[in-house]
Structure 1
Amino acid sequence: MGSLFEELEAREVAAQTRVEELEAELAELSGKLELARESLERLRIARETVAEVLAEMTPENSAVGVDAEWPAGGELAASAYAGAERRVIGVLAVPNWQPEMGAEVLPQVYRDILEVVADAPGPVRAKQIVPRIGLPAETGKIEGTRSKLKRLVERGWLDEGTPGMFTPARRRTAKSPNSR
């Protein structure tokens, strides 16, 4: 059996090693905590900024560009901005097409896409549109444009007769209730 001092020294070395390991873990966790706090702060600032912008917006100068008379999803468009200081869920940037609605209600990139499709001699693909709206012909840009095209189809602004081929929408005229 070793001496008492050797045993104490061995335990001290083991304790010192454990302290260093815990300090290293603490430093790592402190770094992770700081990153999480920074992320939380950025999200808080973003939420507050969006709430401020939406609170200041009026239907006349909104990005959606619709007036308070036009119904969007069963409610007045102005209600999307009401109480913006409270919890904001979202704003419909691409409204469903309605008769007598012009492209000016759409964000600029969607108007550019509609213009390219309208000017094309026939159906066009997303990869043909991307360079015409000033984006590099990269996969990510093509896929982003494709999703915008699909959204325009869903909302009645464009048609997609063949998958991936987009054309201006053939407007469906609403039948009066008395006509058969």
Structure 2
Amino acid sequence: MGSLFEELEAREAAARERVEELEAELADLAEQLERAREGLERLRVARETVAEVMAEMSADASVAAEEEPEAETADGEASSPYAGAERRVMGVLTVPKWRPGMGVDVLPRVYRDILEVIADAPGPVRAKQIVPRIGLATTAGRIEGTRSKLKRLVERGWLDEDEPGLFAPARLRTGASPNSQ
């Protein structure tokens, strides 16, 4: 009878060893899978970010940056803090704060398109309603990117967001809307 127990113990030891080998392989594969998933996510985010930036840049390459505050010289003339220096901003698109008399022509093309869709809407609209109307695919990334632009337009006085997620033309004290100019 001793040999039967010895055979079972040997088989159990071999099975235990095989289980440990497979667990080690599984742990290694799980680690490889996690690294691959992280790499995939980084690439997806990078591609979406680059596509968004490139779309904005090509939409309107002639966007003017916000004016720098001017200082007066001793003789009373206004001078820029960058007087005499060539000022070049590359790859930066700004959404200036709305001021009376400012038209939508100072905004990048995609922002003008957004304001046009909102101005034409019968009431407040959501980002997911705007995305297809400005020619983008209705993916979660595009909707979130548009929502970010809408929030930026609200922060800078171009739009109102009376209820979370609902965007409408800005109402000023005079009742005029900056996007109607």
TM-score, with length taken from structure 2: 0.50
Q: Distance in 2 between matches of 1:72 and 1:84?
A: 12
**1:115-148 Cα deviation digits (max 9, x unpaired):** 0000000000000000000000000000000000
Partner of 2:69 in structure 1?
A: 74
**1:140-169 Cα deviation digits (max 9, x unpaired):** 000000000000000000000000000000
- How far did residue 171 of structure 1 move? 1.7
Q: Distance in 1 between matches of 2:125 and 2:81?
A: 36
Aligned length: 106
Partner of 2:106 in structure 1?
A: 105
Identity between Structure 1 and Structure 2 (%)? 66
Letter of the structure 1 residue corresponding to residue 124 of structure 2: P
Partner of 1:17 in structure 2?
A: none
Q: Distance in 2 between matches of 1:95 and 1:80?
A: 19
- How far did residue 79 of structure 1 move? 7.0
- How far did residue 102 of structure 1 move? 0.4
The structure whose RCO (Cα within 8 Å, separation 6+) is larger is 2
Residue ranges of structure 2 left out of the alignment (5+ in a row): 1-59, 72-79, 175-181
Flag as ranges the 4+ runs of structure 1 deviating above 4 A. 78-82, 88-92
Residue ranges of structure 1 left out of the alignment (5+ in a row): 1-60, 174-180
1:141 and 2:142 aligned: yes
Determine helix, strand or coil for the equivalent of 1:130: helix
Q: Distance in 2 between matches of 1:132 and 1:152?
A: 17
